[in-house]
A and B are shown apart, each in its own frame.
Chain A
């Protein structure tokens, strides 16, 4: 340091002046509104935050189509879709509380950081009152936490981990999609009928939180049947090649392989397991079987022939025959030319449920909306009678057990419905140990501002 004319006194003076300068404008700040992003004009904005690039982009884009459709129906355009079959008749196709619904979209890139950045820009720049979307549980948990802090409502999209409404549950967050525990509970009886009670299972599990919670759920459900768990091997996410994990399976003494994988990983691991001849193999005097606990249409399409006869579970499928499903499939099909996926359905329903709750509450205030949604019972949304449980903000409804179709006729019916597991069978206590136990709490609803 050579010449400097900065003195300590000078620095302090400048500092004080700067501080005063910064503090001064606060006196002009007008009184804040009652809650974050209170809509003042004749429109209200929703934020649709989905992966448009990255491994779950296909799911994300389908979600976006459904969300756009939901906004059309709320604003009274199109044929109204599920509004005609929804048991609550509060929505009349004239927008929300006299305001027209707009939406903004963002790209989560299936990364928590990018998802939060995009969600924050929606909240801070576009003034949204609700964010819907998020494929992958890590992203959903991250965005849910953000919405809780900012004081707006989060309606989760495709997220299957127990944690979203388990240990990471939040008062401002709601999940319509089912979870890993429900998959296990729904699959178990079907597996018992199909494969008996004397089986030895080998798990390959995606090595992160969702994989672990699913593996834990399936293991406890199958062990309750009397099955034995031979081994659980954790595989890196996005491994691509699973052959080194599949080779030891045949000689392990197991006769069932359970693939706790999702997306491209599941397509690869299942295809390789079939190539290794596991499906035609015999072990312990029984036919060797493969199970994929969480199915999606896109995975089924990716795995092609290989999924024939493989069991799994789903939240919803377009082949259901109830009125709500038919109305939704019709308006989606007319607009886009193909049937909607399960992730599209859950986002569509979540958007309508939020809009309905706002109308019933008569306010956009998040706390009023939370109150309207908690313990809300509804029907006509494709899943039969459904309860939004107040204790953990999880929807309770029937779960579908699916099987790879033996003779698919088009590329959209590669899965067939085996059984609709009734809701009683998949219900659990809010303080279940797999869901954070007694410690997990929603906290207080936060209206922000």
Chain B
């Protein structure tokens, strides 16, 4: 079966992604409510929305980093610009996200054009440093000097005194898409202890995520994508053959900036507040981690990486000693005491440590990221190990390239 100009293999791939995305509220609730493992359930609206949003962010970043090899450390700036744009549209027009989101993509695109035009004069480490400098500059401006526009540390939010010229009398006063309120759940079934939440906002972001995933799939398969890969492989050689690579890298930079702006806009669409720390360098670093953890240059990797990091941030950080005691209470006292002491170092406030260890393990043993792990497991179950370049391999990294190239 072929649809939308994709090969049969890609069509199958896209359908799998669509299925996984739409079934997320069920897949992420594997444990019944009230059981000890319910802490590990992740199927609540906020986290699912974050999975989709950071998935979009990472997919976009992968178009730049995965294909051209240009490592930007400033993509959080576009995330912030997108958020501020959407909140400003709430303040000026009304809570319908339809005005803000396209504008967020446009403004972040313009920002990316300006920053990319300057930064792309250099490559390698100098490019990374330039983007980092621009992002930190945007962050500091947003934090203090531009407070009239960004509301500084407090974060931009909507006040009842704002003009909101399009606001109708019966219109919802939280973000909505033509009356579909993002925060509301349209179905909350309970099947024998399993509680599932189907949220408007999640499906809104999920559908957008599928669309932008399809776009990135097309970019990967296009002659333009091939040219970007050529830049990663050997830019000097391209230049010698008389090809000007700058327009290609700039286009990739702007596209990934627009993805970031869209993700930022969606963050504000799910939760009507934009804070300056969204632009901080740690946020830029986070998306780099997501892409590397999942597998740079692969289609599925960035999404997996985004989910992985957000899961740790939101689930592991909430496990406290009280919950640990609940798990180990059936053991003899000395053993449970010991286990609590040990696990104490890996959960709750120490979730960064666990994430860091796992990141190290992945980078050392699986340079291709989580996608490579999946690939290796799949290979175990196949009768004939495929040769290099076998079935499905171009969804995945070619064995060699190092992540930092």
Task: Name A's B-contacting residues (CB within 8 A).
Answer: 1-6, 22-23, 25-26, 28-29, 52-53, 57, 61, 103-107, 111-114, 116-118, 120-121, 124-125, 136-138, 141-142, 145-146, 149-150, 161, 163, 167-168, 207-210, 234, 236-237, 439, 441, 443
Contacts and interface: CB of A to CB of B under 8 A. Distances in A.
B161 A209 contact: no
Interface stretch (B111-119, B248-256, B289-297, B348-356): B348-356
Contacts of A161: 154
B18 to A, nearest CB: 11
Given A6-B3, A28-B187, A145 B144 contact: no
B99 interface: no
A441 B160 CA distance: 9
Contact of A116 (B154, B273, B322): B273
B198 interface: yes
B178 interface: no
Given A125-B41, A138-B154, A208 B318 contact: no
Nearest to B185: A29
Contacts of B160: 441, 443
B5 interface: yes
Nearest to A115: B275
B153 A209 contact: yes
26 contacts: A1-B4, A4-B3, A5-B2, A6-B3, A25-B187, A25-B189, A28-B187, A29-B186, A103-B322, A106-B317, A107-B317, A107-B348, A112-B273, A116-B273, A118-B317, A121-B44, A136-B153, A137-B153, A138-B155, A149-B183, A149-B272, A150-B183, A208-B153, A209-B147, A210-B153, A237-B143
Contacts, number: 130
A57 B349 contact: yes
B164 interface: no
A29 B188 CA distance: 7
Nearest to A443: B160
B44 A113 contact: no
Interface of B: 2-5, 41, 44-47, 50, 140, 143-144, 147, 151-155, 157, 159-161, 174, 183, 186-189, 197-198, 203, 267, 271-273, 275, 277-278, 313-314, 317-318, 320, 322, 348-349, 351-352
B154 A168 contact: yes
A296 B147 CA distance: 27
A53 B282 CA distance: 14
A137 B155 CA distance: 10
A235 to B, nearest CB: 10
Contacts of B5: 1-4
B123 to A, nearest CB: 30
